[in-house]
Amino acid sequence: MCSLERRSEHGGDWPLTDNEISILDTNRESLVDVLDCSDLLIRLFSAQVINVRQRETISSKRKGHRKNEALLDILRRLSIADYRQVIRCLHESNQSHVAEILDNGGGRFSTSRACVIFVRV
């Protein structure tokens, strides 16, 4: 496993901590299924969390789950401040259930049942 130091040019809040990365990794399948990028991308771009190239990369995907996968790949490379902004944008776009997953962990779907299992990371 690779360990990265926090870089001072990002105010000491980059890269994401192991906790945020673990939340994204553990809940990736669920997040791909439940994210709605339509309003979220506009908000993330306006908040300067993603740039034009990233927005176009995500938007160019034909299927919703592919857009969500592209967004999640970008989220893994954000600063902690930007990760927090993503959570705010999710709340603003009526996706508080997704924001809670990113904020607190949990939310993995069980493949044997049609329910959500909340797992604290």
Label residue 1 by pLDDT band (50, 70, 90). Answer: very low
Instruction: Please provide residue 108's backbone torsions phi and psi, each rounded to the nearest 5 degrees.
Output: -70, 135
- What does the pLDDT average to over 46-59? 98
Which one has a higher pLDDT value, 94 or 14? 94
DSSP annotation of 9? G
Percent of the chain exceeding pLDDT 70 equals 78
Look up residue 30 and give its amino acid. Answer: S
Q: Is the pLDDT of residue 97 over 80?
A: yes
Structure pTM? 0.78
- In the chain, what are the domain boundaries? 15-117
Which one has a higher pLDDT value, 2 or 97? 97
* Fold exhibited by the domain 15-117: Death Domain, Fas (1.10.533)
